[in-house]
Amino acid sequence: MRIGEVAQRAGVSVRALRYYEEQDLLQASRSPGGHRHYPDTAVGRVQLIQQLYAAGLPSRVVRQVLPCVDSGEAPPKLLDQLEAERVRVEQRITDLLTVRDRLDGVIANTRNPSAECFHGQ
């Protein structure tokens, strides 16, 4: 698959794919003309990289995690680090749910204001 096709299917920019290569997160072979060619698995790999970044993991950790995803095993030190990241992600989820609930309250009050909301009018 060529770089433009992977980018389109994965929903990322070509620039992002080049960055992933620079960070050793994604590999491509080269044609005699120098064009990048990715395996069919590249789209799923890019989506996983995007998810790991969205979870807040830096490139160096993503680089360590990807082989573990492939093998299904992680060294104890990395496993400890991933468990700590999971705790951090859980806290972010809790915080986001709290914000969502507050927004729901504002939306509900705005759509169905109580008499107190009209105190200045």
Residues 21, 7: Cα–Cα separation, whole Å: 13
- What's the predicted TM-score (pTM) here? 0.73
Question: Within this chain, do residues 112 and 89 fall inside the same structural domain, yes or no?
Answer: yes
User: What is the mean pLDDT for each group of 10 consecutive residues in the chain (121 residues)?
Assistant: 95 96 93 92 96 89 91 91 90 96 94 70 51
Six token digits for residue 93: 């989820």
Q: Are 23 and 66 contained in the same domain?
A: yes
Q: Helix, strand, or coil here: 2?
A: strand
Q: What is the pLDDT of residue 105?
A: 94
| Same domain flag for 58 and 84 | no
25 and 55 assigned to the same domain: yes
* Mean of all residue pLDDT scores within the chain: 91
Give the closest residue to 84 by CA, choosing from 53, 57, 50: 57
Residue 11 backbone zone (phi > 0: left; psi -120 to 50: alpha; other: beta): left
pLDDT 10s digits, 84-103 = 988 988 999 999 999 999 99
Domain that holds residue 81: 74-121
In sequence order, which residues have a C-beta less than 8 Å from that of residue 121 and are 6 or more positions away? none
Q: 14 and 63 share a domain?
A: yes
CATH at 15: 1.10.1660.10
Please check whether residues 106 and 65 belong to one and the same domain: no
Asked if residue 65 and residue 121 are part of one domain, the reply reads no
Q: Is 106 exposed, middle or buried (0-12, 13-18, 19+ CB in 10 A)?
A: exposed
Looking at the fold, whether 68 and 87 belong to one and the same domain comes out as no
97 and 50, same structural domain?
no
Are 7 and 53 in a shared domain?
Answer: yes
Predicted pLDDT at 17: 96
Residues 88 and 46 in one domain: no
> How many domains are contained in the chain?
2
27 and 2 within one domain: yes
